[in-house]
Structure 1
């Protein structure tokens, strides 16, 4: 096969692996954005209250993603080394241990809610709204984590179609229930802000039931040898999961620090920042899909020592991310007044949101590079480098630039410019790191055997 033919084949395989996850991520993040848009119709106070919960929701997601990265990497490597029995034991462990860990975290966040949200800058009105919303939201977060662990299992076995399809289905269920539970219909008055969380609970519960039924028809799980497998794989697991979870926990911590800065500007700015955060994740849908679909593929290449394939795959993925993300960011920046109008009816929130879109969205091309490099690092046996890159992105580039921008201008425009500059610097640093890693002498992985 010619080099051009190989490149075309690689591109088609990348497309087939990524597009189902892209559709799923688009649906999942789209319903979250629409969810916030519905809440915005309730008023600025409920939207601000929901915005205060985002960092803690991201905290739960960070831990579940860190666990999922580790399990997907170990399972894909085991499959690449033809260790089928070990892969089945690892699959069972992630569902049992992961679900228990997220449940404990959710209980802790419920007990500490008032102290945490007060520290983030929530006032008495916001605390009252959060209190009614937080319990069903934590239940939804736990169900979402269980779903994610199941998706990780399918992705590790090369199946991106089912996770993508289930993300779409659960998102549609949530979208259908949102207006009914938030605003009500007929004599039913609706639940307001908590209704959004209960809609997610119903949608994710449906997904868990469907996923459990599908797993019953596979041979990907094992009920024997789990204790010995846990002892045997603990070192390798925590070697990946530890740095990966720290990497994933850094964004929620940075989000808490960022929203505490935004809170000093006022409730309107907090509401606009919350909508911008939802729009950020939606605009990064292709990047997020790649961070889900690429690691199992890279893990198999790592298991067989195929570094040439790894090099070609990463170069292609980076080109796709930069071209797509930059084009989308510029387009949304041009359309920012109309995008903001669609998401909020409050003129002040709308104007602040348009400002954030104009400055932040184009910078997500650089952010996408950083996210892809961190994801690849976890899959290819560089979890420490990935963790350090994630930390540098947030605490060396993003937050200092955000603080500097807010301090220099005493307003939202400077804050947005600073955040954009931080994203750009982080993307450049990640690109240089990846170039050095791929230029280093190739090394075969040390395959863990039974």
Structure 2
């Protein structure tokens, strides 16, 4: 395995190898975590179509909480990294500590609000009375443990900001492994454990999050000493929160649009019956596993872009961006071929019902065709945040979801049912990827011109 890049390597080293040396630890952690979450879905599928459909309904709601956490993590990484770069170690410690408490407070409040609104939310999504009991069994436990999920995620952002990508990956991997071990024990009641069904899957997740919580707090407070164990003073906390939220809120808003769009699609899919929702839920989790490289690059590319942007090297910024896009497109084409080859095995593993198998096959043959270009959009979004353009990243997300993805999916469903819905999503990704690429090129060209003009002014003054 290649070593982690030295700080100056981001500014001078060869672009491709440097990006890879930053990305592979993240790939390992994300792939491990998503793989075990995929196994989680596999175990739930053995309970029956209703239970699998219930979990399919929970995705937009649970991802709303996760999206807020991701946005807070982006803001945390940006603020902490900037302070560390200016040798303000104490300021970085205060910002990291504030980020942990702020994220726990916001996610705790959001989870409580969602708990109170559980029935109206899922009724709006199209959940039937038969499924509502299963949804409550799962989500009430999930809500109670949400803070245990958010703290490790934001804590990992603090570590990445300090240049450590290996420890966060290890913590994610251990959490995923513990979840995979606990799932069959608690779902089916193996050995001394009671058979808890869908509740067992939720308990397995919460226990795994608790493990990550303990590990990240130990590492941040006692091992690395990069945050304080006690809450910061109120004035410091307020100032830190303002800086964190200036970047984090637009980023969170952009991420939270995705579960809203997924909620709309889930409601449309629900009109085709519970088997369709069950298959769609499996497909969404399959998409997460298939997009592991995209997710890893979206975490490793921004620091590379930020440092070169700060150094005034916009040519290197563009080179890194294009390199990541080309790799993403080529890799996702290979992923599509692999999914098609394994489609029969995937159906056999997750579909206990012929109707579920039919919809799942349709999903596999169509939706992954657009994953590569969907990756272009995701990487453009993260790159715009790296250039300190969070509002432009938010605007791109709005264009993707509400100008192309949702409208084209609705039109496709009206014309050709589920097949048309999936095709509409692929077409939307193609169109938005072109817009995203041109958008980023225009932004970087403008930044390069500003930097050249500033340099000329400095040279003429001398």
From 20, 23, 26, the counterpart of 1:21:
26
| Shift in CA distance, 76/187, structure 1 to aligned 2, threshold 3 Å | closer
Matched, 1:39 2:44: yes
Matched, 1:415 2:460: no
8 Å Cα contact 1:334-1:358 kept in structure 2 = no
From 424, 428, 436, the counterpart of 2:442:
436
Q: Which residue of 2 aligns with 1:193?
A: 198
8 Å Cα contact 2:185-2:191 kept in structure 1 = no
Post-superposition offset of 1:191:
0.5
8 Å Cα contact 1:31-1:174 kept in structure 2 = yes
| Shift in CA distance, 441/331, structure 1 to aligned 2, threshold 3 Å | same
Structure 2 counterparts to residues 120-159 of structure 1, below 5 A: 120-159=125-164
From 221, 225, 232, the counterpart of 1:219:
225
Matches of 1:282 and 1:408, distance apart in 2 = 30
Post-superposition offset of 1:75:
1.5
Post-superposition offset of 1:416:
1.2
8 Å Cα contact 1:140-1:197 kept in structure 2 = no
Structure 2 counterparts to residues 42-53 of structure 1, below 5 A: 42-53=47-58
Matches of 2:84 and 2:142, distance apart in 1 = 36
Q: Which residue of 2 aligns with 1:380?
A: 387
Aligned residues: 439
Q: Which residue of 2 aligns with 1:310?
A: 317
Post-superposition offset of 1:293:
2.2
TM-score normalised to the size of structure 1? 0.93
Q: Which residue of 1 aligns with 2:347?
A: 340
Moved over 6 A (4+): none
Structure 2 counterparts to residues 255-404 of structure 1, below 5 A: 255-404=262-411
Structure 2 counterparts to residues 75-90 of structure 1, below 5 A: 75-90=80-95
TM-score normalised to the size of structure 2? 0.90
8 Å Cα contact 1:38-1:179 kept in structure 2 = yes
- Listed as ranges, the gaps of 5+ residues in structure 1 are 1-5, 445-450
Post-superposition offset of 1:230:
4.1
Q: Deviations over 1:15-66 (max 9, x none)?
A: 1211111111111111111111111111110011111111001100110011
Matches of 2:305 and 2:84, distance apart in 1 = 12
- Listed as ranges, the gaps of 5+ residues in structure 2 are 1-10, 452-462
Q: Deviations over 1:216-264 (max 9, x none)?
A: 1223224686544444455543331221111011001101111010011
> Mean Cα displacement is larger for which, 73-82 or 270-279?
73-82
> Mean Cα displacement is larger for which, 173-182 or 424-433?
424-433
Q: Which residue of 2 aligns with 1:30?
A: 35
Matches of 1:337 and 1:183, distance apart in 2 = 26
Post-superposition offset of 1:369:
0.4
| Shift in CA distance, 341/424, structure 1 to aligned 2, threshold 3 Å | farther
Considering only aligned residues, what root-mean-square deviation do their CA atoms show, in Å? 2.0
Matches of 2:355 and 2:80, distance apart in 1 = 49
| Shift in CA distance, 190/424, structure 1 to aligned 2, threshold 3 Å | same
Matched, 1:426 2:405: no
8 Å Cα contact 2:98-2:240 kept in structure 1 = no
Matches of 1:73 and 1:377, distance apart in 2 = 13
8 Å Cα contact 1:49-1:127 kept in structure 2 = yes
8 Å Cα contact 1:89-1:226 kept in structure 2 = no
> Mean Cα displacement is larger for which, 270-279 or 328-337?
328-337
